[in-house]
Structure 1
Amino acid sequence: MVMDIRLTRIDDRLIHGQVATAWSKATGIERILVVSDEVANDELRKFLLKQAAPPGIKSNVVTKRKLVEVYQDHLFDGMKIMLLFASPQDVLEVVQAGVDLKAVNIGGMRFCEGKKMITNFISMNEDDIACFSTLAELGVELEVRQVPTDRKTDLMQLIKKRKDAATT
C-alpha cells in the first residue's frame, strides 16, 4: 500500500479558493501536502496556508526531502492526498528521488521577467520547459486545467504549438 495521491498540481499560489473548493471536492482528498522548501522554512506562510485549507481537510507544508521520506516510510499509506507544488523543478526533483507520480495538473505559473505566456494563466522560461519535457519523457502525464470541470489540455502540445508559432 502506498500514498493515494489523487492530484498533483503545480500552482504558484498553492492553496487558494479554487484548489480548496473545486479540486478537494472532485478528488475526495483528506489531506493537502504543500511541497516547498521555501514555504516550509517560512512560519508565517506556513500558518497562512494551513488556515486556507477547506474545512475537514488537513494540510501540511513539507520540504521536498520530507515528502520523499514520508512517501517511502508509508506514513500516509492509503490516505487520499493532494500534492501542491510551486514549480516544475520541485516536481521533477521528487520524481527523480523516487516519488511515483502518474500525472501532474498545471494550474497557474505567474508571469515574470524572462518567461513567456503559454496560456493566459501559465508562463514559462526555458528551464521550466526543460523540466516538463523531462517529466514527459519519464511518462508523467502533464495536463492543463484550472478547475476539474475544464477540458484537459496536454501541456506538451501547448508548448510545441508555442514553439512552432515562434519559428514560423
Structure 2
Amino acid sequence: MICDIRIDDRLIHGQVCGFWIPHHNLQRIVIVDDEIIHDAQRKTALKFGCPDKCKLSIFSTDSAADKFNRKIDEGIRVMILCQSSIPLLKLYEKGYHFKEITVGNMASKPDSTRIRKTLFVSKEEKEAFIKLSEYGVKIISQMVPSEPREDIIDEIRKG
C-alpha cells in the first residue's frame, strides 16, 4: 500500500525518519531517481541513514513504474520519495497513476524560482508539477504531519 508520495530533496533525513516513518507506520521507503541508481556511494549513504525498522529501496523510474504497476509492494506500507516532480511525472506517464503528491523541501538551485520558504522549483520541475495537476494529481505542501495540508498548484503556476 502506498501511504504517501513525497518530494523532499534531502531524501532520508530527520523529518522523514522522525516524523513521516512513524506517522505512516512505514515498512519501506522507495526512492525513485534515475541518477542515484547509478551512484553506489550515495545509495550506501542513504541506506545507512534509514532506520532499521524501515527498508529502503532505490529504483529508476522505469523499474519503479514496472514494480508499482505490478503491485509488487501490496500489503506493505510504502512511501515513494523523490527529489523533484520530474521522476513522478515520468512514473505517471509510464502508467503508474496516483492522486496526490506531498511536497516538503526543495532547496534553491541555479535558475530556480521561490514558491515558498523552502520550496524552489526549476522551469522543468514547474512544468512537471503543472502537467501532473492537469492529469488530476493534487499538489500538497506539508513539511511535517502536524502542519496543515495546503494545495499549492496555484502558487507554482504563478511562480
Which TM class, normalised by the smaller chain length? over 0.9
2:124 match: 127
Structure 2 vs 1, CA of residues 37 and 159 (structure 1 numbering), >3 Å: closer, same or farther?
Answer: closer
Rounded Cα–Cα distance in structure 1 between residues aligned with 2:72 and 2:90 = 20
Rounded Cα–Cα distance in structure 2 between residues aligned with 1:125 and 1:34 = 20
Q: Under a length normalisation based on structure 1, what TM-score does the superposition of the two structures give?
A: 0.89
2:98 match: 101
Q: C-alpha offsets along residues 75-105 of structure 1, whole Å, 9 cap, x if unaligned? A: 2112110000111111100011111211101
Instruction: Name structure 1 gaps, 5 residues minimum.
Output: 164-168
The one-letter amino acid of 1:38's match is: E
Identity of aligned residues (%): 28
- Please give the secondary structure, in 1, of the residue aligned with 2:104: strand
Give yes or no for the alignment of 1:22 onto 2:19: yes
> Which of residues 127, 140, 145 in structure 2 aligns to 1:143?
140
* Contact persistence 1:21–1:54 (CA under 8 A): no
1:64 match: 61
1:152 match: 149
Q: Under a length normalisation based on structure 2, what TM-score does the superposition of the two structures give?
A: 0.94
Rounded Cα–Cα distance in structure 2 between residues aligned with 1:70 and 1:109 = 26
Q: After superposing the two structures, state which structure 1 stretch, 122-131 or 33-42, moved more.
A: 122-131
Rounded Cα–Cα distance in structure 2 between residues aligned with 1:48 and 1:96 = 30
Rounded Cα–Cα distance in structure 2 between residues aligned with 1:42 and 1:98 = 26
Q: After superposing the two structures, state which structure 1 stretch, 135-144 or 150-159, moved more.
A: 150-159
Q: After superposing the two structures, state which structure 1 stretch, 67-76 or 87-96, moved more.
A: 67-76
Rounded Cα–Cα distance in structure 1 between residues aligned with 2:29 and 2:37 = 14
Instruction: Name structure 2 gaps, 5 residues minimum.
Output: none
RMSD: 1.3
Q: C-alpha offsets along residues 41-73 of structure 1, whole Å, 9 cap, x if unaligned? A: 101110111111123110111111110121133
